[in-house]
Chains A and B, each alone.
Chain A
Amino acid sequence: MRGLRVRLWQGGLLLGFLLLWEWASRTGRIDPFFFSYPSEIAQRVWRWFATGEVYPHLYVTTVEMLLAFALGTLLGVALGLWLALSPKAAAVLDPYVKALNAIPRVVLAPIFTLWFGLGILSKVALGVTLVFFVAFFNTYQGVKEVPPVVLQNARLLGARPSHLLRHVYLPAAASWIFSSLRTSIGFAVIGAVVGEYLGSAAGLGYLIAQAEGVFDTTGVFAGMVVLMAFVLVLDALVGAVERRLLVWRPKEREGGTA
Chain B
Amino acid sequence: MSFLEFRRLSVAFGDYVAVEGVSLQVAEGEFVSLVGPTGCGKSTLLNAAAGLLSPSEGEVWVAGRPLKGLNPVAGYLFQQDAILPWKTALDNVALPLVFRGTPWGEARERARAWLAKVGLERFAQRFPHQLSGGQRKRVGLAQVLIADPKLLLMDEPFSALDVQTRQLMENELLRLWQEDRKTVLFVTHDLEEAIALSDRVVVMAAGPRSRPIGEFPIPLPRPRDVAEVRLTPEFLRLHREIWELLRGEVMRAHAGA
Contacts and interface: CB of A to CB of B under 8 A. Distances in A.
B83 A248 contact: no
Interface in A147-167: 147, 149-150, 152-160, 163, 167
B82 A152 contact: yes
Contacts of B96: 157-158
29 contacts: A147-B82, A149-B82, A150-B83, A150-B84, A152-B52, A152-B76, A153-B78, A153-B82, A153-B83, A154-B84, A154-B95, A155-B70, A156-B52, A156-B70, A156-B76, A157-B95, A157-B99, A157-B143, A157-B144, A158-B99, A160-B99, A163-B98, A167-B95, A171-B84, A174-B86, A248-B87, A248-B128, A249-B85, A249-B129
A211 interface: no
A172 interface: yes
Interface string A159-200: 110010001100110100000000000000000000000000
Interface of A: 147, 149-150, 152-160, 163, 167-168, 171-172, 174, 246-250
A150 B99 contact: no
Nearest to B88: A248
Q: Main SS of chain A's interface residues?
A: helix
Interface in B216-246: none
B45 to A, nearest CB: 16
A147 B147 CA distance: 22
A167 B84 contact: yes
By Cβ-Cβ distance, the 7 closest A-B pairs, closest first, are A153-B82, A158-B99, A250-B129, A171-B86, A248-B86, A157-B96, A248-B127
Nearest to A151: B82
Contact of A149 (B80, B100, B129): B80
A158 B146 CA distance: 12
A160 B96 CA distance: 11
Nearest to A155: B70
A20 to B, nearest CB: 46
Contacts of A168: 84
